[in-house]
């Protein structure tokens, strides 16, 4: 702070003067008015003495205290280098942060909001040790093929030691057309988490089916509350499907050796990986919510298409529960996992993973809940493009 005539409350640092002899005190006081003294500002002697005004009382030494001068444009607390990327401020740039929600309602840095686009810090990329991906609508295109670009990226991930897990609502019998296209054969979580399949040994390494008591209870509740409801069951991880005669079956499965009609009593005779529920043409989300409310405490209800079919698993069984089990087997935690999906049955997995990525073509609820969204759809290699950017391929 510059010294100016008329300043009050300012005491310049100076050496302690030797007290004059008694006979010279009057003269010293006359000369101590600050006028002409090179080390002391001019002080108002005509104002009454008040605390922090004018000269300090004599008798003991006081250290000079000065408030540090604020640098223009900075906040009151310390300006750390880490504040710049997190808050969007630049040193000396002035102004303050835009209040949360003033622009898009979302934070703008990966550390604060875990993404929504933009590059991730290298330390995060190095921490991702497991890539989990849904199939239909995510990794697989509408014509049921996997693109050469996607095949190449998966092959490179496997060569780099990254664990790959296919996580799908598909039954095991629908996995082989996908494996036939890939150069790697990763573990697959099928039937929305009810079964974990190892293609190398052609074996189910873990299974959590809907037991017969819960299966019977679920069907009884639905028969009482949903007019025209019909059922089918997936067994043995989906190697087989048995259905009531009225249950509609896709044309690709009409003549399948492991698919066929059965009586209602036969459907309930063995545990099921999934219970499939239909009741004519139904809005997918509303019907799923209705079935879920009916089965609360007994089973899990979800959907993976707009067909109006609801998929029911044992209570607590989801893609997330199965993926967490696989990750633990590799000594990995949720923060080590990145997951891709597009439909409501992917929601538990995407919210569990350290980074859940929704497809650009995904269900609105999935895109809203995910940590990030791909720039491209499944038809345009959305997963492959995202992984290429993440791993700098």
pTM listed for this prediction: 0.70
Digit-by-digit pLDDT tens for the chain (393 residues) are: 444 444 444 444 444 455 555 455 544 454 445 444 444 444 444 444 444 544 555 555 555 555 555 444 434 433 333 333 333 333 343 334 433 433 343 333 333 334 444 555 554 556 799 999 999 999 999 999 999 999 999 999 999 999 999 999 999 999 999 999 999 999 999 999 999 999 999 999 999 999 999 999 999 999 999 999 999 999 999 999 999 999 999 887 878 889 999 999 999 999 999 999 999 999 999 999 999 999 999 999 999 998 999 999 999 999 999 999 999 999 999 999 999 999 999 999 999 999 999 999 999 999 999 999 999 999 999 999 999 999 999
Q: How far apart are CA 11 and CA 320, in angstroms?
A: 68
Q: What is the pLDDT of residues 125-158, one digit of tens each?
A: 567 999 999 999 999 999 999 999 999 999 999 9
Q: How far apart are CA 140 and CA 329, in angstroms?
A: 27
Question: Is the alpha carbon torsion for 168, 169, 172, 178 positive or negative?
Answer: negative
Q: What are phi and psi of 236, to 5 degrees?
A: 55, 50
Residue owning tokens 């993404």: 115
- Residue 213 burial (10 A CB sphere; 0-12, 13-18, 19+): exposed
Residue 228's region, left for phi above 0, alpha for psi from -120 to 50, else beta, is left
Q: To the nearest 10°, the Cα dihedral for 342, 347, 348, 350?
A: 60
Q: How far apart are CA 49 and CA 248, in angstroms?
A: 98
Domains and CATH numbers, the chain: 122-208+318-391 (3.40.50.1000), 212-314 (3.30.1240.10)
Q: To the nearest 10°, the Cα dihedral for 135, 141, 144, 148?
A: -100
């Amino acid at each position: 702070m510059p010294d100016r005539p008329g300043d009050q409350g300012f005491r310049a640092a100076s050496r302690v003067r030797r007290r004059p002899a008694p006979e010279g005190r009057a003269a010293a006081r006359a000369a101590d008015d600050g006028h002409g003294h090179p080390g002391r500002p001019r002080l108002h002697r005509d104002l009454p003495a008040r605390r922090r005004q004018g000269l300090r009382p004599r008798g003991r030494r006081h250290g000079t205290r000065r408030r540090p001068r604020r640098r223009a444009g900075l906040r009151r607390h310390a300006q750390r280098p880490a504040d710049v990327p997190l808050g969007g401020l630049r040193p000396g740039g002035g102004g303050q942060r835009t209040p949360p929600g003033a622009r898009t309602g979302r934070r703008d840095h990966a550390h604060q909001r875990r993404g929504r686009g933009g590059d991730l810090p290298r330390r995060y990329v190095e921490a991702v040790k497991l890539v989990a991906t849904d199939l239909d609508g995510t990794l697989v295109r509408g014509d049921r093929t996997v693109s050469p670009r996607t095949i190449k990226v998966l092959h490179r991930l496997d060569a780099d030691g990254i664990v790959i897990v296919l996580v799908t609502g598909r039954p095991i019998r629908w996995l082989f057309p996908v494996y036939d296209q890939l150069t790697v054969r990763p573990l697959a979580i099928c039937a929305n988490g009810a079964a974990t399949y190892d293609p190398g040994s052609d074996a189910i390494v873990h299974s959590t089916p809907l037991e017969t008591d819960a299966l019977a209870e679920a069907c009884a509740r639905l028969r009482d509350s949903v007019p025209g409801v019909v059922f089918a069951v997936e067994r043995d991880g989906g190697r087989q499907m048995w259905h009531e005669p009225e249950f509609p079956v896709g044309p690709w499965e009409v003549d399948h050796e492991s698919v066929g009609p059965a009586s209602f009593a036969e459907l309930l005779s063995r545990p099921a990986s999934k219970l499939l529920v239909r009741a004519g043409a139904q809005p997918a989300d509303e019907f799923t919510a209705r079935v879920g409310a009916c089965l609360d405490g007994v089973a899990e209800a979800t959907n993976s298409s707009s067909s109006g079919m609801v998929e029911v698993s044992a209570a607590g069984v989801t893609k997330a529960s199965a993926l967490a089990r696989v990750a633990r087997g590799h000594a990995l935690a949720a923060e080590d996992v990145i997951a891709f999906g597009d439909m409501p049955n992917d929601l538990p997995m995407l919210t569990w993973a350290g980074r859940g990525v929704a497809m650009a073509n995904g269900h609105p609820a999935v895109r809203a809940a995910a940590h990030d969204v791909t720039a491209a759809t499944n038809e345009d290699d959305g997963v492959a493009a995202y992984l290429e950017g993440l791993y700098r391929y």
